[in-house]
Structure 1
Amino acid sequence: MAGLFSVPPRANGFREKSRSPNGIPLFSSSAIHEKRSRYAASWTVPIHIPIPGVPGRSLRVPVPNLAAVHHMSVTHFGRRRGTLMLLVACVAAVVTVFSLAQRVRTSRKQWSAPLFTGEPSTLVFEREDLQQVWQWEIASGHYPSSREVPRPIRLTAAPLNPALPPKKVAKIPSRYRPPGASVTHTVGHGAKRVYLDNQSRPPHVEYPPRPVPGSVADMDVIMDLCDFSTEKYVRDCLEVLRLSGGLDNGKRVRRGKFDEWRYIFVEEGEVNTNVQPEPVEPVHTYNNLAQASSSADPNAGLQRKPKVEWESAIRLPATLVHHPYHTLPSTCDPENQRLFHMFWTGPFTDKPYLALLSFLFTQNVRLHLHEEDPDAVVCRPQFWMWVNPGPAAAVPNPNARHDMFEQLKSNPWASPFLHPRFKDVIMFKMWNTTEQLDGVPEIKDEWRALKDTLFNSGGHIVSVRQDDSESESSESSESSTLSGSASAAETAASKVKSSTGENDALKFVGSKSADSYDRLSVILSDMARFILCHRFGGVYLDADTIFLRDWEELWGWKGAFAYRWSRLENYNTAVLRMNKGSALGTFLFRTALKNGLDFHPMTVSKYTKDAYLEPLLLRLPDALFDSAWLNTENYQRDRPPQPYFTQFGDFFDTPSSSGAAPAALGFEGFFRGAYSYHFHNFWWKPFDASRNWPDLGSRFIEGERQARLNLNLANNVTNPEHIPPEEHVADDKRDLDWATVLKRTFEAYIRGERPNMYGEWLEW
């Protein structure tokens, strides 16, 4: 019977059958062997994986062809030896993979970004030093958060946290803790927190109330309600901020309890100094080999910067003592001065002018009280405007300070703030790069080695080189002070030549257009903000920032913070809060020194990420300081905040489709709830194109006349009498832009035509 279905052998030596006894076609076995032969010649074999959600489609994935490997080994070494060698190779591969996995599991390694992005690590501190930084900041009251300490820090005992109220934490005995576990919580022993409902009460509902002195913003609550990474909307965040902050005065339309939205609290009681730290518990490991490996390498799991040795043991001052506000002997905390810093290069313009006006309009500077009133000096914040009069790389002359104030007096945008009424709240200070760098203990003896590449931000280095003929004279002036001759770095900076061989861009004083951008001053400001905050404490703000509300509760939060870079998990240091002489500051400056003194916010993000210190420099949601950013990058446009900007230029040139909003809603309708607004450069765009001068009334009329004369000269308009012409409302722009409305609102307060945002009238 078999012969009935047999077919003659084919040339390849295999028989094939055409049909089975029941007539169903049979496929030749030779086809199978042909496929095997074809795949044996290839080193990979395709497999098809179904794509979920796409019926009938699959993903073709090549995998190693074991048949080809076996065929090659048998061909070269014979059937027995080839098979044996193949088995040995497979066993070796399995052992290698298992060893790598065991090493990762033993050290509980947390793979950092450089392993995936290809960027080298920036870390120069050992684990013991990182532990000391964490312990110093917590003990000093700079971590008022219940969020976990990163596990790779490997704390073996829970630190006492004086800025956190007591809270019951489930204590897991050592024998029940997961293998390799470390302590990630802190033990609160601080004052009790009472959350506030700070709103205006009838009949006084025309203006919002000032924040309660000593109140604190709970950043844990803000992160829960506003964090972009958890898909929270800027619009919703601003509603929470203004409702709990009392900025919805007389307009509260929400009904019901809103306890979960309360983020402002005051501390009651005192810090319990009798609390004892939890005893040290041993950290379990997987096996004796892992324990030996861990003890042999205390830095296991940390990625050190290539070709750089570990830093010597970090030197930190004594920890600070955390005092709740109500226990302070005076209205101000000497360890937590309320200083705002801003850096400006070149002559004053309307940009720092508006920043200072918004400061006076929103912050509790007590100008509504007479100077002799005792309450007039109740912990007033100060604004320190740091001025670099010429180009960032210019050499200051011996009379630089005197010349700076003479220029400020003659500048119509700056001269109003030299009025004696503002002398205790606005201070102009001279910036000197050498003096400032020498004032940072962590780098004062080493930064000069980097003077040729001092201007470095994000890897963009402007080369600073000296002529050999002048190197000797430059060295002799390294120790000069602000009033003396130029220092070595500043003299070198004056000789700057870029990689293209030209230094025209280094001569810019301010940015007059998108094509003539003062990039060198921007690079210098990236470093200046960290120097100022570390030396003096306080908050640094970019000059393209406008205050929108009182920062009282932000001062109450004693931790360091910046804010999120839009959709990216990086810092934007346009707002930077740091504590004076902190352990975090020491870490940042020593790390930056070993990374080219690079203080670009993206680079700083790597510093903290590589060292697991990100929670110590909290990355707040940009809704608090930069509410339009996500919209300008095409995010959250389905539910945008008010106003709705699709690009930052809309602030200066508001589209006609929404041009009715600025004049109709006014200051109260501009990102209500946010603490400030960052308009991202546009230095060359006037806030008020039709009235591009300081409009502060008769008290400052001379400055206004000078500004208008300068404007006429620039436009080739002659006015021999130097008298401003009579104005008519019909000559004004029909649809006012948001920038114009804010400028005119702040100016009306100085003129005495309206109170500030809290209903307080300026008392001259």
Structure 2
Amino acid sequence: MRSRARPSQPAGYGNRVAKDGHQLNNLPSLAMSSSGYYPHDGLPEHLKSAPLRDKLALRYSSPWFVTLPLPIPGARTRQLRLCFPNPQRLYRSSVARFGRRTGSTILFFGTLLFVFAVFSLARQLGIRPTKWSLPFLGKPSTRIFEHEELRRVWQWEVASGHYPSHRSIPQQLGFLHPPPNPAIPLRPDVTEHSAAARVNTTRGVGPKRTYLDIQFHPPKVAYPPRPVPGSVADLDVVMERCDPWEEKKYVRDCLELLRVGGGLDNGNRLRRGNLNEYRYIYKESPATAPSPTSPELWAPSLRGILLPPPVRHRPYASLPTPCDPDNPRIFHMFWAGPFTDKPYTALLSFLYTQNTGLHLKEPRDTTVCRPQFWMWINPGPAASVPNPSALSDMYKELKNNPWAMPFLHPRFHDIIHFKLWNTTEQLDGVPELKDEWRDRNLFNSLGKAVANPQAKKKTPDDVLERAGSPSSSTYDRLSVILSDMARFILCHRFGGTYLDADTIFLRDWEELWGWTGAFAYRWSWKKEYNTAALHMNKGSALGTFLFKTALENDLDFHPETISRYTKDAYLEGLLLCLPDAMFDSPWLNTDKYQRERPPQPYFKAFSEFFDTPAASSAAPSALGFNGFFKGAYSYHYHNFWWKPFDPTRNWPDLGSRFATGERIARAALAGGLNITIDSDPEEFPDVPDRGDLSWATVMKRTFEAYIRGEMPNMYGEWLEW
């Protein structure tokens, strides 16, 4: 073999000193030893320049890792040495290899990738996240529970029959066996999963389902039938056919599914394809065995909060009475400020659509569970404390308010209830909050807290002094923030469904009451909740999770924040996010989506409900109630508290039985005219009506005509006095 001679070292190279003072004499050879590869001086030409030699020298001047000594408590002579990558060495090496600009960029993004990988690994391993995060990684996680605790929440809810769905459960939580689910039918072909692997499904052990074809048969086809008592909406079918973001599905087609499957198209049903595809309503057979409630299926505790055993899921046919005490049929609504035509119309729509038995004389139908409406009144500004006589003051004001007094009539006393909202009492009534809420700011929304009401000097027009929103410039933001929290408190304490006060009912909710899971609906095009319609079960593990999580996040109950709570904890399936077509049909259109195939009516803005454009203003009077988003369960018109439903007849028009309220309202509108509440109705000035009526006006006048006994409700039932 040919001998390999060591190339000579350039003069002065062995004595070079680095900037940090280290000698470079012991640097390894930087040149290949083959005399046939390099020139005779021993170094390649591209390494002869001094700057490059400096870079190469600095590359070897510091170690890859550095140690940080930490004292050990109780052991003075010992230290704990932690090893970390040396940022100086990493920087110099990247600069020497790639240049200053490119090397710095690579090092920066490499560091970001490393931090992101660490956070992702910690999340997958179930390490509890901290409340801080780096801005470039997005918002911090809100999760405060370990995976084991979150599995217990799922187990409790599933065992209670609160997950009547075949949709998958989160695989990230590490279920090794499918939880038994009493709310979905037993499938003999599915066996218990025995492999030591994560599962993403529940195991049905519940009663059979029979899907219904709901319609009247000739000649009785003028009005749709009432829903079958105890029937249930299969929201899996609705999600599959209506969710616009899983696959492009139009609100128009979703409303047709809801309309046809619910039997609302009677008298107008046209020949279509296989109508079995429209069946989404079913009845459960009577339970043959009790729901599984063995102790290992429920959480004995959740961060110090004792959970009761799961509720037993019982089909409607197995109940001893029509009303299930574990699933009370209560509609909640929160109102602040003087009672106006907005809650008035909401209550009228409730009477017009729901199966209250109001049209029946004694004895009432004992096979139907009559829903109730609880109107919660906050008597003053959201930040105020009610006085000791607040309850009597509330009823006194309601009796003198023309919009409220009709609902104090004895005919409505067992279905409409006015409740006094007391923030302190309500918060103390929630076990998860009562010991801690006083240390929090109650007016926090999206991480932005309103200043402490006690520490701020108030003025008459201050946001802290507002009670209601009489105009767009005096919006009562504090009451809105309070209502974001109130809806979860009311549903958790009493059960039922909460609806925003800017909502009107469009059909009977019987099938939604039958679906025992919790739900809200989608925020237009976003994959987030809108809690303007919120259903939750009384005292549920889901409610406990939400309140404990909200406590750690400054009592923020904004819908976007609620979306983060459930997403971060893999609990989105327990609070189902329904398509907004069911409760807010025009929202995608108002946000400029699906305008190529809009539903009927076509709104480009929510204001068109009150100010219907001339080009489409013939529709309200011609089509009436039946032409307004037929199939949807309710309509949310998004604020506009200051716009009257009926500008030319802005008073309660309910006939002679409620003439006092009409006189009070008309006297107030008369202004300087010499008219009092005792004046004869003939003395009131004639009010010229509009030629074209808006949709809002048609809705209000339709509901009023039913109460006057001049027309039946949407199901053909007449109210007899």
Name 1:318's counterpart in structure 2: 309
The C-alpha deviation readout for 1:562-598, integer Å capped at 9, x for no partner, is 0000000111000000000000000001111111111
The one of 198, 204, 216 equivalent to 1:188 is 204
Q: Take 1:369 and 1:462, find their aligned partners in 2: how far apart are those partners?
A: 49
The one of 253, 267, 270 equivalent to 2:270 is 253
Q: Take 2:707 and 2:407, find their aligned partners in 1: how far apart are those partners?
A: 11
Local SS of the residue matching 2:532: strand
Do residues 505 (structure 1) and 484 (structure 2) align? no
Q: Take 1:98 and 1:653, find their aligned partners in 2: how far apart are those partners?
A: 55
CA contact 1:162–1:189 (8 Å) conserved in 2: yes
CA contact 1:162–1:271 (8 Å) conserved in 2: no
Local SS of the residue matching 1:574: strand
Do residues 436 (structure 1) and 426 (structure 2) align? yes
Q: How far 1:724 moved relative to its partner?
A: 3.6
- Gapped regions of structure 1 (runs ≥ 5): 1-66, 281-309, 467-494
Name 2:222's counterpart in structure 1: 206
Local SS of the residue matching 1:515: helix
Q: Take 1:162 and 1:117, find their aligned partners in 2: how far apart are those partners?
A: 41
Name 1:446's counterpart in structure 2: 436
The TM-score with structure 2 as length reference comes to 0.81
Q: How far 1:763 moved relative to its partner?
A: 2.9
CA contact 2:322–2:367 (8 Å) conserved in 1: no
What aligned pairs does 1:225-304 form with structure 2 within 5 A after superposition? 225-230=241-246, 231-273=248-290
Name 1:522's counterpart in structure 2: 480
Do residues 165 (structure 1) and 122 (structure 2) align? no
Name 1:456's counterpart in structure 2: 444
The one of 410, 414, 426 equivalent to 1:424 is 414
Q: Take 1:709 and 1:234, find their aligned partners in 2: how far apart are those partners?
A: 44
Q: How far 1:173 moved relative to its partner?
A: 7.2
Code of the aligned partner of 1:223: M
Name 1:556's counterpart in structure 2: 514
Name 1:14's counterpart in structure 2: none
Q: Take 1:454 and 1:730, find their aligned partners in 2: how far apart are those partners?
A: 46
Higher relative contact order (CA 8 A, sep 6+): 1
- TM-aligned CA distance change 1:105 to 1:681, over 3 Å: closer
Q: Take 1:102 and 1:386, find their aligned partners in 2: how far apart are those partners?
A: 48
Do residues 671 (structure 1) and 629 (structure 2) align? yes
Q: How far 1:191 moved relative to its partner?
A: 0.5
Name 1:368's counterpart in structure 2: 359
Q: Take 2:306 and 2:595, find their aligned partners in 1: how far apart are those partners?
A: 48
What aligned pairs does 1:335-734 form with structure 2 within 5 A after superposition? 335-370=326-361, 372-375=362-365, 378-450=368-440, 453-466=441-454, 496-497=456-457, 504-713=462-671, 716-719=672-675, 722-725=679-682, 731-734=688-691
Name 1:125's counterpart in structure 2: 145
Local SS of the residue matching 2:419: strand
Q: How far 1:254 moved relative to its partner?
A: 3.5
> Which range moved further: 635-644 or 726-735?
726-735
* Aligned-residue identity in percent: 62
CA contact 2:358–2:719 (8 Å) conserved in 1: yes
Q: How far 1:171 moved relative to its partner?
A: 6.2
Local SS of the residue matching 1:214: coil
Q: How far 1:459 moved relative to its partner?
A: 2.0
Q: How far 1:464 moved relative to its partner?
A: 2.2
The C-alpha deviation readout for 1:32-89, integer Å capped at 9, x for no partner, is xxxxxxxxxxxxxxxxxxxxxxxxxxxxxxxxxxx99x9965453369979x999996
Q: How far 1:315 moved relative to its partner?
A: 2.8
Code of the aligned partner of 2:601: P
CA contact 2:471–2:642 (8 Å) conserved in 1: yes
Code of the aligned partner of 2:145: F
Q: Take 2:645 and 2:593, find their aligned partners in 1: how far apart are those partners?
A: 26
Q: How far 1:516 moved relative to its partner?
A: 0.7
Local SS of the residue matching 1:561: strand
Local SS of the residue matching 2:209: strand
Q: How far 1:261 moved relative to its partner?
A: 2.0
CA contact 1:345–1:388 (8 Å) conserved in 2: yes
Q: Take 1:267 and 1:172, find their aligned partners in 2: how far apart are those partners?
A: 23
Code of the aligned partner of 2:443: F
The C-alpha deviation readout for 1:315-347, integer Å capped at 9, x for no partner, is 311111000000101111111110000000121
CA contact 1:496–1:503 (8 Å) conserved in 2: no
Aligned residues between the structures: 627
Computed over aligned residues only, the root mean square deviation of the Cα atoms, in angstroms, reads 3.4
- TM-aligned CA distance change 1:664 to 1:71, over 3 Å: farther
CA contact 1:534–1:580 (8 Å) conserved in 2: yes
- TM-aligned CA distance change 1:520 to 1:99, over 3 Å: closer
Q: Take 1:143 and 1:329, find their aligned partners in 2: how far apart are those partners?
A: 23
- Gapped regions of structure 2 (runs ≥ 5): 1-45, 65-88, 98-105
Name 2:37's counterpart in structure 1: none
Local SS of the residue matching 1:265: strand
Q: Take 1:746 and 1:320, find their aligned partners in 2: how far apart are those partners?
A: 38
The C-alpha deviation readout for 1:85-143, integer Å capped at 9, x for no partner, is 99996899999989997996798579999887521111111111101100000000000
Name 1:328's counterpart in structure 2: 319
CA contact 1:386–1:428 (8 Å) conserved in 2: yes
Q: Take 2:277 and 2:456, find their aligned partners in 1: how far apart are those partners?
A: 56
Q: Take 2:498 and 2:168, find their aligned partners in 1: how far apart are those partners?
A: 27
- TM-aligned CA distance change 1:104 to 1:598, over 3 Å: closer
Do residues 753 (structure 1) and 671 (structure 2) align? no
Code of the aligned partner of 1:719: I
CA contact 2:291–2:313 (8 Å) conserved in 1: no
Q: Take 2:519 and 2:498, find their aligned partners in 1: how far apart are those partners?
A: 11
Q: How far 1:209 moved relative to its partner?
A: 0.2
Local SS of the residue matching 2:308: coil
Q: Take 1:137 and 1:379, find their aligned partners in 2: how far apart are those partners?
A: 24
CA contact 2:261–2:280 (8 Å) conserved in 1: yes
Q: Take 1:529 and 1:227, find their aligned partners in 2: how far apart are those partners?
A: 25
Q: How far 1:731 moved relative to its partner?
A: 2.1
Q: Take 1:81 and 1:755, find their aligned partners in 2: how far apart are those partners?
A: 91
Q: Take 1:314 and 1:427, find their aligned partners in 2: how far apart are those partners?
A: 31
Code of the aligned partner of 2:494: F
- TM-aligned CA distance change 1:357 to 1:186, over 3 Å: same
Code of the aligned partner of 1:365: T
Name 1:46's counterpart in structure 2: none
Q: Take 1:717 and 1:72, find their aligned partners in 2: how far apart are those partners?
A: 96
Code of the aligned partner of 1:204: K
Q: Take 1:465 and 1:242, find their aligned partners in 2: how far apart are those partners?
A: 48
- TM-aligned CA distance change 1:110 to 1:549, over 3 Å: farther
Code of the aligned partner of 1:582: S
Q: Take 2:506 and 2:122, find their aligned partners in 1: how far apart are those partners?
A: 51
CA contact 2:166–2:184 (8 Å) conserved in 1: yes
